[in-house]
Structure 1
């Protein structure tokens, strides 16, 4: 029964790509400069966070690109230019066909710099932490070498707090508490937050209707984001937390997983310089101003302090 409940808990720790369904997250168009016979490609990012795009040309004739092809790059929210196709010879026309793909996240060439996170639980009492396994390891016996996930024991009605500042990139808030004895389900509620350095933090297993933030909202470190689900694992409620980023070396490879996981360092009252979780250990949380505000500009810090007065 122990392994069955872990499967229920861990499935939604796998990051979901192409999560927006009603509108394309990213749209690629181009404009024609008839005088120069050039084509400039632009993007429209309709989301709140960075996305990666890949453009392929299947039949480019008479022209060259101001970039390397296929084009692979990150695009921020809103509109912008990507590159220009220019004629290979003066007064020569260009013909082409193109297609594109997109993936959620900012392409990173290497892991981000170390960062000290807050624990996602209150400072009222100590909480037990455990490292979790990937769902593919439990079901198919496939080892995911870089997977790293955490779970923290909670109590019914406990609030989950943001471990780091960021923009809410995705929310799932529609699934009810699972019936007793359910051993496998992908239907769990979560909050995903996009961080300043291009990483994501995903908080999994919220009670339906208790999520306190919305997509596109900026959340500060230590801010409450929801209430843990009532489902139990050996008598304990759990909140799960993973940190990951879109790895340039893995992006747009259909047969693989595009995200690389980060092993976070947490602020602890006993280890202010940061601690990496130990299996089964208990930790006490705190939200010191120096950690909460570490990514704020001077103007943001001043505004934040004024709001607290």
Structure 2
């Protein structure tokens, strides 16, 4: 029997986490311009802020702070142009970066599938912020995602179209009665609107996709885990976007999303019971013509 109470914690995403390092390279062209390129070794875009502490006889379209998107590979993120020809130039800068596209937008309001195999009965529970466990004197009710709890192990699926940005799938433990582990297996999916979905508590070695793969809504990603947790098998899901935090800093913000359920498309705000449904109109609403044709031929 499923327990109706759950106290979960979610670690705040760190800018110095497992994410690969974005590096900056410079070149000078024949006109004396300095070109700055971001080298991004990952499969998804990153947001970059260049903070110029010195610009001697040089200008940029963004002034002292330039925000740009580092696409996978090598891409130009800024151009420094001499102000006066024939005069000396100099510059100095620092930079910061965060996974995701700070300028990302969506053509339609996205609707997410519950990331569990269709037909599975689940309980949806709002996650508890880790700060409430570390500091019990003050309550932090900020949104940190949702847990979907089920009785039997099942398959975990993509809640929305995207690209597999990162994963860790090598954690296995014989510990029992767990409530949380910082080593849990996870996958991150980058969406074309610049946001990221993170799915946590996945079975070790069960990945059905690889980093860089494009996945479609409802596509199987991995098998569930959590059998050795106090509350049994479950998957945790949290969504984040990258935002500017002042002129020269970036931050990750968690935000709630709308799910497709038996009761319609809703934002889950309290303990709820559902039988997972994956409506075709939700699966196909972000697909391009080629993907839609492939989906229709397969169904």
What TM bracket, shorter-length normalisation?
0.7 to 0.9
Question: Does residue 275 of structure 1 match 2:255?
Answer: no
Contact 2:102 2:244 in 1 (8 A): yes
Comparing 200-209 with 112-121, which one deviates more in the overlay?
Answer: 112-121
CA RMSD of the aligned region, Å? 2.7
Aligned twin of 2:10: 11
Residues 112 and 299 of structure 1: CA distance in aligned 2, closer, same or farther (over 3 Å):
closer
- 1:135-154 mapped onto 2 (5 Å cutoff): 135-141=130-136, 143-144=139-140, 146-154=142-150
Alignment pair present for 1:63 and 2:58: yes
Instruction: Give the one of 70, 73, 77 matched to 2:72.
Output: 77
- Is the 1:42–1:82 contact (alpha carbons within 8 Å) kept by the matching residues of 2? yes
Matches within 5 A, 1:29-178: 29-34=25-30, 36-108=31-103, 114-141=109-136, 143-144=139-140, 146-178=142-174
- 2:295 aligns with one of 273, 286, 304: 304
| Higher strand fraction (1 or 2) | 2
**Deviations 1:10-36 (CA, angstroms, capped at 9, x unpaired):** 234x32434456x63x222121124x3
Q: TM-score, normalised by structure 1?
A: 0.84
Pairwise CA distance, 1:191: 0.8
Per-residue CA shift, 1:41-68, capped at 9, x if unaligned?
2222221111011222333212222322
The 5-angstrom pairing of residues 192-207 of structure 1 reads 192-207=188-203
Q: 1:292 aligns with which of 272, 275, 283?
A: 283
Of 156-165 and 36-45, the range deviating more from structure 2: 36-45
Match of 1:28 in 2: 24
* SS of equivalent to 1:59: strand
Residue 96 of structure 1: SS of its match in structure 2?
A: strand
Q: Distance in 1 between matches of 2:200 and 2:192?
A: 21
Structure 1 residues 10, 252: closer, same or farther in 2, change over 3 A?
farther
The 2-side partners of 1:284 and 1:84 are apart by 53
Query: Compared with structure 1, are the counterparts of its residues 286 and 109 closer, same or farther at alpha carbon in structure 2 (3 Å cutoff)?
Result: closer
Give per-residue Cα distances to partners, 1:213-243, cap 9 Å, x unaligned: 2111111100111111144444521211111
Whole-angstrom CA distance in 2 between matches of 1:293 and 1:183: 36
Shift of 1:93: 2.3
Q: Is the 8 A contact 2:177 2:229 kept in 1?
A: no
Partner of 1:86, secondary structure, is: strand
Unaligned runs of 5+ in 2: none
Selected match of 1:186 from 175, 182, 187: 182
